[in-house]
Every structure is written in structure tokens, then in C-alpha cells.
Structure 1
Amino acid sequence: MKKILFLLFLCPLILKAQNHSENIQKIFNYELTEGHTYENLRYLCKEIGNRISGSPQAAAAVEYTKQLMESYGFDTVYLQPVMVPHWVRGGKEQAKVLNSSKLGAVDLNVLALGNSRGTGPNGLVGEVVEVYGIEGLRKLEDQVKGKIVFFNQPMDPTLINTFQAYGGANGQRGSGAAEAAKFGAIAVLVRSLTNRVDDFPHTGNQRYNPDYPEIPALAISTKDAELLSSLLKGQKDLKVYLQNNSMMKEEVLSYNVIGEIKGSEKPEEIIAVGGHLDSWDVGEGAHDDGAGCMQAIEVLRIYKEMGWKPKRTLRAVMWMNEENGLRGGQEYAKVAKAKAEKHIAAIESDAGGFIPLGFSSTGTEAQRSKLASWRDLFTPYNIWKFDVPGGGADIGPLRDQGPILIGLHPDSQRYFNYHHTAADVFEVVDQRELELGAAAMTALVYLIEQEGM
């Protein structure tokens, strides 16, 4: 009798798992044969281009994604206002070694870091002091007064997790100028954050300390960082000329773009899936983060095309201003809290359109265990990593409201070849890898809207 009761209990579970497996296969098959993700990304990159917050291109991207979601017949598509910073690069930057005893005058490949102030039209000249990270700067203190600080800490090539390597070196970019200004430095050059030695400087956000001067901050390509370091080893009085015209302007009204399919059984429970619509002002923002935005829209499009009615409400969210302010993610969480909305999960794709390996997550033990319990449903698609901590920058502000935060976790070995550079263009995104990521996100959303969290 006990055996019969056990079988009666087990049969519905087996049937449910089989049904889930079949529907996930349908998702993958559909996306890999009839997906729109790649073509939508092409339009965003080639017809609109890079999309820094406050720019005309960012405004165009808002309108494009709004119209795109409306064309797919989502239940609701709307704009969520948010004030964003408006930083402009102000023309081409220059950097030149002036007095090398070996090479004479040498041009260096540089890009102003995000939110950097300019040198003025005449530029500035200073001797260069090389340091490795913020700790290296603090060891020198007053020795950098009146000089250009050159932060030359590389990403650790021995770390297989390239995001971990990025995090280990990112402090010098994010707060290098603020820290150097405390000791009287007149500008900073920061080694680009990539494991490759190449000619592409990588921009990225940096933050000033309001108690100290806002000095110019520029990234230097890894190839020229190696050159500058070698020249400094034989010549301590090496001088560099810097010139950039970047500036911060008045804040601008922009928008998060939100598309929604209302849940049929528990509409009050929300699953948000998205990426950030803004990008840096070089390249086309293809991997960072046009890919994530188009994958998120595809999740809801697949539901519409399949004729599926989700039990819980699905939202595709295009967050604005992740790169140099995070205003969109903060505003989204603020509005959700004010409306007492109940997010059970928030999923972000912001690690590139590469082949998916799994999902990172931040949440309670019960939430993360439930996510991990679905692992076997993904292994047929070579998606197997479910134990990685993480989530995403734009969904982070939602954490205190209780949802599990989930990040699509693709193979990241090539990501920092393109991250924040002019090389981040549509042509470096592989269609199949991008579509596999969209299918993986849709499959996970399917399980969450069916089973809850």
C-alpha cells in the first residue's frame, strides 16, 4: 500500500518535469529557428549606435525599444521617467610622451574615463609617477603632488573568472582620480581593464570625491601602458602631455522602457527580465548591453508567439544609465517600493552575448536551492553552472524587497576584449550564442512563472 501511495505521489511530479522539459525544448527550438534577437540587435547597433545617457542616441533607443515592444503586442508598454547625468566627451583626446631619451615624442592611445573633467583646450604637462593600484598610490602620498599618476595594475591573468580579475583591478579606475587628487596629483592615466595587450583603450565610469579637485582621468591602452612603463624604468623625469575636453552638463530627462504581459493566475507576482539600454559613447554597445536588452524583449516575444499565458506577470525592462550613474535601476526599485509591487525574481543579462553557461544569483538559501533544482532541465543545452554568486547592477536596488536576483552567466573569456571600447560592435556578436542566451533566459522565466520562487 505504501508503495502504491508513493507512486501516486511521484507520478504527477514526473509528468510535470516531462512537461517542463518539452516546453523548454520548444523554446530553444523556436529561438534557434525563428528568433528575432540578432536582427533587433543589428538595428540597435547599426541604425542607432552607441547610447550614452542624455544623448540623442539614448533617446532614439528609448523610442525604438518602445515601438518594438508595442509591435509585438505586449499587454502594456510604457516609459518610466528618470533624470540622468549628461556627460560629453567633447572631442578627441590626446596624450603624448614629450621627452623620451630613447624615442623622443611618442603618441599614446587614450580615452577619457566616464564623468571625467577636461584639461581645458591647452591641455596640461606633467611628470609621470607609476603606481600599482590604490595601495601603491597610498605608499607614495605626497610624492605625486603636481604630477600625473599612472595606475598600471593589470587584471590578474591567472583568474579563470574574468569578472573576478576585473573586480580586482577596477578600484584604480573607479576611484583612482579621487584618491590621487587627495595628494595633489594633476591628472591620472589608468591601464585599460583587459587581459589582452592591444591598442584599444577602455573607458568606464569613475567617481570624484567632492572634497578634492576633479582632475582629468584617462584610460590608456594596455600596449601603450606597457610602453610607458618600460620608458619610466629608464627615465624618471619622463613628461606627458594630456588634453581632453570632456565635461558634465545639466541632467537630462530620460526613461526606463518597460513592456509587460499580465499574469493569468497571480498577476501581483512580477518577474522582471532586462538589460541596460545605455552604453558608452564609443563602439556600438553591442555586448554591453544591447545584447541583454534584445534578449529580454525576446523572452516576452516568445511567449506571445507561442500563445502562452504566464501564471505570473512578466516584465521586460530596459534600464537607463547603468554605465555612469545607475539611475534607472535605482528609480525602478524606488517606484516598485512606492507601489508595493511584489517582485519574486529579477533577471539581468549584462555580461555579453556569449554562449550561456548558467545563472548567477543572490537570494535566500531557499530561493537559490530552488533555482539549482532546475539544473538538470538545462544540462541538455550545455547550461550547467547554477552555484555562482551574483546578479546584476540594475537589479541590485531591488534586493531589500525580497526577490531572488539572477544574472545570465555566459562564457566571459572574450568579454573584456570588447568591454567599453570602440571594438564593441555588432559584428563581434555571434548569432547562435546570442540566441542561446535568449532561449536560456526564456526557459528560466518559464520555470519561475510556472513554479514561483
Structure 2
Amino acid sequence: MKRNLLFILALITVMAQGQTPDESAIKQIFDKALVDGKSYTWLHYLTTEVGARLSGSPGAAAGVEWSRHELENVADSVWLQPVMVPHWIRGQKEIGRIMNTKKYGPIEVNVCALGSSVGTGPAGVSGTVVEVKSFDELKQLGERYLKGKIIFFNRPMDVKSVDAFAAYGGAVEQRGYGPSEAAKYGAIGVIVRSMGLNPEDYPHTGGLRYAPNIPKLPAIAISTNHADRLSKLLKEEKDVQFYFETHCETLPDAPSFNVIGEIKGSEYPDEIIVVGGHLDSWDLAQGAHDDGAGCVQAMEVIRLFKILGIKPKRTIRAVMFMNEENGLRGGIEYAKQAALKKEKHIAAIESDRGGFTPRGFTMTATDPIKTKIRSWKPLFEPYGLTDFSQEGGGADISPLEPMGVPVLEFLPDSQRYFDYHHTQEDTIDKVSRRELELGAASMTALVYLMDKYGLN
């Protein structure tokens, strides 16, 4: 009651300065996040003390316990939602080598196994490399030419695309489905150009999806710099040979949890607004931008409501989803349980595009709901959020969409995200404290308006 009274008194004070109640409430949210925010402190601990959190790993388990403990300090109630997750391990460091160049001799290159790939074992895989840019090229070359070869998918992300996520979407299918497509024509292994826009020496991992009833080929990513070098060599010399060795394997599914904390609504407790990020990360680094940032921003929404004394009308729920990276099991289980319990979600917001400068929100919803949310745009413009035009919601909340739930995603600046995405570079030193806190405040402000006015 005392905190709620302080919030009201602060609103009255700011309103006296000529601001509307909504303008003053949002200013308080941003002020508190920037002056007394906790998202960066949380993220620093999650990344440096817990570290990498690949599903099924000890790091993922530690992440669950850490987030549960922290949410218990700010939420009305906290619980763990069980979910079985894939358990893939990378094993010892991968080897990649161009074997037989006439001019340079053997050349060591930087590679890493793609997530969920089978391993080669100590014998490795060696063979002649065939470079392609598309699945249509594979089909045109056919089994007669490709059998027994290593396929090199080398379609780069489109640097002309200002939207880095659109560039990613235009290239990522070769990583996700390339190994199975190559297997159809008798290939023995796959190399995929890393999903990055810049010249880089480090490779990007990421999940692949084997098609059923097709041989599973071992698959690696190669850094963009070394992809360019390999491509150049293939133009200069015939029958370039490549060797790679990986020791990854998939173990039986492991038990894990989504971590859920909420503040109960005072007037409409059965109406739920979800904010979330995914707690799991790839194993190469700390998972700072992908997606530790989204998790702590979702947690900060709950904390800001509490510390500002805002008593929500509706239930505000923060969810740390498990297993977005290589299975989406957490998001699927959450939606399944919501349906079984007949829960009423009026909106779901995800942050999974990094902790960069806020630009707006994407949304997939009915036209009336989009119109209502866009009517709030003037309240966000003073804080740099101007883009409310794009379709889309996050991966973990996508299973809620068929249930009629409006899904939104926090939209930060996209230009640096794919420098770090799925790489050894995704570490806390790449995160700006100020940008992260601005993102948390942006999400909190949107939740505040949704809670106050509803979406009907």
C-alpha cells in the first residue's frame, strides 16, 4: 500500500509539470530503470558465474536455480514447470583443414559443429569439396556428381538488407536443412558458411534439423573469413580436399524446467500478460545477448512494477523458457499447460533480439489490437521507440499464437546482433548497461499500458 501511494504521489507531482498520467508513469519507469536498474547486475552474474547454459547441461540447471531464486525476491509467486529437453554435447574441440592446396599446402581453418549434428568420431571425414549457394544447385548437380563429396553451402547473408534479421532469414535455411538436403544426393559431410554479416575469424554454431528417414551427415560451420578463402581456392584449383573431425553426440533427453514468476492482478487476475526470454544458450560463450538479456529484461518488468508500487489490474507473468535453441520444448510445454489449465493470456511479449538500443515492437495480432497498441506510439517516441510496423512475435511464445494470443517481440537495433549470435563472442562485455536498461524499461512501459487499458 505504501509503495502504491508513493507511485500515485509521484504521478501527481509530474502531472503538475504538464504531463499526462501515462506520460508521467512511463517517465517514472524509465527513470527507475536507468537510475536503479538491476537487469545488468543480474546479467553479469548469469553470464560470468553461471555461464553457458545449453539444454541438459549443468549450466542450464544452474541457470534454473539462479533465476528461481532471484524471482522469489520480486514476484508474488514462483514455480518451476517441468519439461524434458534434448541433451546434445559438443565434445572435444573440432578440427577443420583444407588438405591439398598446391600453392599453400594444408590450411587450418576455424570451424565448429552445428548443434544437434552427429559427430565424425576420431576418424573424421575427408573428401572433395563442392560449393553451392542453394538447394536448387544441389538438385541440378544431382547424385552422380555429389555422391561421396563434402558439400559447402556458401550463401552469405545479404549485406544490402538494412534489417539484419531479414538477412539472417534469407540464409539460415542452409544451416537448418542443408545437411539433410545434401544427404539426399549421397554426400558424406556438410560445411556451412557462418551466419554473420561481417568478415570474422570465429565460426557461428546454431541448430540443424535432420529430416526423418534420411542419413544424418556430420555438419560444421566455418568462419566467414575462412569460407571466403575456401571459396577462392575452389575457383583456383580443382578437387580441393577437406578434412574435419567432430566428437559431438546426442544423449537421452534430460529433465529441466521453465522458470515462472508472477504478480497477481488485483481486478482481473485471470487475465495474464506474459513477458519472457529463453534461459538456455549455446555452449560456446556466456549467452549474454542470446538470450540472457531477454531473461533479465523480463525479470526486470516484474521488479519495476514492485519497486514502483504499481499494483497491476491483470496478472503479470515472467517466464524463463528452456530449450529455445535446439528444440523449443519449453515454449511448447508452456502453451500446452496453458491450454490444459484454460488460462486466459491477453498478450505475450518476448525479448530475444539482444540487449541493444530499443527501436519498437513487432506484433502479430488482430487489426484492432494493432491499432490500439500503435495509438500508444507517441508515448514511446521520446525514448527512441518509433517502429511498431513489423509483423512477428518471439519463437518461445509462438505456440500461444494458434490459441488466439497476440504475440509481440521487443525490437532493438539489429546491426550488431549477428556479430555475436551463436559465437564465442556472446559475452557480457558486448552488452551496454544503458541499452539493456532502456530495453527493460520499454517492455515495462508496454506492459503497464496493456495492463491499464487491456487490449479489447
Q: TM-score, normalised by structure 1?
A: 0.96
Return the offset for 1:365.
0.6
Tell me, what secondary structure is at the counterpart of 1:226?
A: helix
Return the offset for 1:134.
2.0
Tell me, what secondary structure is at the counterpart of 1:268?
A: strand
Alignment-derived partner of residue 269 in structure 1:
271
Does the CA contact (< 8 Å) of 1:85 and 1:251 recur in 2? yes
Alignment-derived partner of residue 299 in structure 1:
301
Counterpart CA distance in 2 for 1:49 and 1:169 is 29
**1:282 alignment partner, one of 265, 281, 284:** 284
Structure 1: stretches of 5+ with no match in the other structure: 1-13
Alignment-derived partner of residue 85 in structure 1:
86
Kindly provide the CA deviation profile for residues 379-408 of structure 1, in whole angstroms up to 9, marking residues without a partner as x: 111111111111100000000222210100
Letter in 2 for 1:118: G
Alignment-derived partner of residue 326 in structure 1:
328
1:131 has 2:132 as partner: yes
Alignment-derived partner of residue 68 in structure 1:
70
**Count of aligned residue pairs for this structure pair:** 439
1:362 has 2:364 as partner: yes
Counterpart CA distance in 2 for 1:313 and 1:141 is 56
**1:36 alignment partner, one of 35, 38, 41:** 38
Counterpart CA distance in 2 for 1:141 and 1:218 is 22
Tell me, what secondary structure is at the counterpart of 1:354?
A: coil
Counterpart CA distance in 2 for 1:418 and 1:135 is 30
Q: 1:187-226 maps to which residues of 2 (within 5 A)?
A: 187-226=189-228
Following TM superposition, the consecutive aligned residue runs of length 4 or more in structure 1 with deviations greater than 6 angstroms are 14-17
Kindly provide the CA deviation profile for residues 68-103 of structure 1, in whole angstroms up to 9, marking residues without a partner as x: 01122x111000000000000011000101100111
Alignment-derived partner of residue 431 in structure 2:
429
Kindly provide the CA deviation profile for residues 312-364 of structure 1, in whole angstroms up to 9, marking residues without a partner as x: 00000000000000000000000000110000000000000000000000011
Alignment-derived partner of residue 7 in structure 2:
none
Alignment-derived partner of residue 350 in structure 2:
348
Kindly provide the CA deviation profile for residues 236-261 of structure 1, in whole angstroms up to 9, marking residues without a partner as x: 21101110010110000100000010
Structure 2: stretches of 5+ with no match in the other structure: 1-14
Q: 1:100-111 maps to which residues of 2 (within 5 A)?
A: 100-111=101-112
Return the offset for 1:133.
2.4
Counterpart CA distance in 1 for 2:438 and 2:125 is 49
Q: 1:236-275 maps to which residues of 2 (within 5 A)?
A: 236-275=238-277
Counterpart CA distance in 2 for 1:417 and 1:249 is 30
Return the offset for 1:200.
1.2
Letter in 2 for 1:397: P
Counterpart CA distance in 1 for 2:129 and 2:164 is 29
1:398 has 2:413 as partner: no
Alignment-derived partner of residue 145 in structure 1:
147
Alignment-derived partner of residue 236 in structure 2:
234
RMSD in angstroms over aligned alpha carbons?
Answer: 1.2
Return the offset for 1:283.
1.0
Does the CA contact (< 8 Å) of 1:53 and 1:84 recur in 2? yes
Q: Percent identity?
A: 55
Q: TM-score, normalised by structure 2?
A: 0.95
Return the offset for 1:17.
8.4
Kindly provide the CA deviation profile for residues 159-215 of structure 1, in whole angstroms up to 9, marking residues without a partner as x: 101100000001100000010001111010000011101101000010111211111
Tell me, what secondary structure is at the counterpart of 2:196?
A: coil
Does the CA contact (< 8 Å) of 1:133 and 1:169 recur in 2? no
